[in-house]
Amino acid sequence: MGFMLRVLFVGISLATAVVFKQYRNLTAPMPVPDLNMKQYWGPGDVKQYREDTSIKPFKVSYDAAVIEKLRGKLTDVPKLTPPLDGVAFEYGFNTNRLQDILKYWRTTYLDKWSEREKFLNKFPHFQTQIQGLNIHYIHVKPKVPAGTKVLPLLLLHGWPGSVREFYDIIPLLTTSSKDKDFVFEVIVPSLPGYGWSQGSAKKGLSPSEVAIVMKNLMSRVGFEQFYIQGGDWGSLIGNYIATYFQSNVLGVHLNMCSIMTPLSYPKMFLAALKPSLFIDEQYTDFYFPLSAKFANIIEETGYMHIQSTKPDTIGTVLQGNPVGLAAYILEKFSTWTNPAYRNLPDGGLEKYFSLDALLDNVMIYYLTDSITTSQRIYAEAFASDELKKEIDRIPTAVPAACAKFRHELFQQIDWVLKDHFTNLVQSNHFEDGGHFAAMQLPEVLYKDFVAFIASIQK
């Protein structure tokens, strides 16, 4: 019996050692890997590529024939299936509401397209070539008295958004005001494959590779050190820039903060047992119960499964199809702003957004034929090569802030986030707001961002 106990003890000890070693291997911090800063994403052979480092002014401009062709498509709309009795947006975009929007788009909006085009051009636009791709960006330099502290800022959008999301917050950031003793010089790129930025011709342009493109863009425009603000893909890409280039990023502020490590989900499940041990009780329902949160994620991420597996199929369905494009994109601006808007016949779209603003964003996708290339980032993000990088296991000491809006699609508690963001200096909850914070609540996001910058400036 003693011998058997000894064998059992040794066996348990060995098994524990193996498990602990595996656990330690899975959770140990990882170093920043060697990066290929010149990976070529353009068409053809890289051997024939000579990068044009010049920066060229860009203007949003389309011939009248393009607009009239769109008007024709919006006039010759197929018969839309009416919604079920008593159904609002629960089955997707309500076609009665869609008919109203299409009419407004075809008449009022397109009748004043010259005004909308002028509005889109209100900030200076540019293009430059980075790693084989023509990258579009807005660059706004503040007009302030000499001696004013000017801080460089990279603003990053996501899907199905665009640079249009930032049009209301840019003036706040670039104008002197009593609430700050600094202003920002703002660079707002269209992500590769979005809007007027060229899409990759090669497989593999994942969020971590886009981070390298964005870092190279900031170097191109003259900034080796800068701040970052981003949401959606902009949040993930901003995180990766702050992870890969820690000496270059002065601070990173994100809405939709999340990480993926071997401990992130176990920690969330553990915190769910007794949330008050980990967060202020008044914010419990931002994260829990997990069952309700996961149910909402499942309901709202059908698009993601399609785009991460068959982006070109759904892209082909939507490209050149303004009716389908509007329904597909605007549905997200409804339910991702507040899931309760599923129960409203109008989708709550105009509670925070004007139809002009929403259609500006749709027009960017339509006019640039970028819906397919914008969706490919999902396939690249979930590719095995990208997931194997486990970037969130690389700690970043860059000062970080998370703005948590009540109706954001996904939230993680700070106890989880601090495994990666080791210098999380600000984490604020907001009782209103959803996924498109910069466009929905620009002043709220602005104030939170300025408070973060002011704290680390000190």
Please give the positions annotated as active site: 232, 378, 435
Q: Is 126 exposed, middle or buried (0-12, 13-18, 19+ CB in 10 A)?
A: middle
Give me the sign of the Cα torsion angle 324, 330, 331, 336.
Answer: positive
Sheet containing strand 400-405, edge to edge, reads 55-58, 125-130, 133-140, 182-189, 149-156, 226-231, 249-255, 400-405, 424-430
Query: What is the Cα 8 distance to its own chain's centre?
Result: 52
Task: Let me know: does 239 contact 156? Beta carbons within 8 Å.
Answer: no
d(CA 260, CA 434): 21
Phi, psi dihedral angles at 65 (to 5 degrees): -65, -35
d(CA 5, CA 313): 62
Task: Let me know: does 389 contact 357? Beta carbons within 8 Å.
Answer: no
- Amino acid in the structure at residue 198: Q
| Cβ partners under 8 Å of residue 90, min gap 6 | 342, 343
d(CA 433, CA 202): 37
| Cβ partners under 8 Å of residue 65, min gap 6 | none
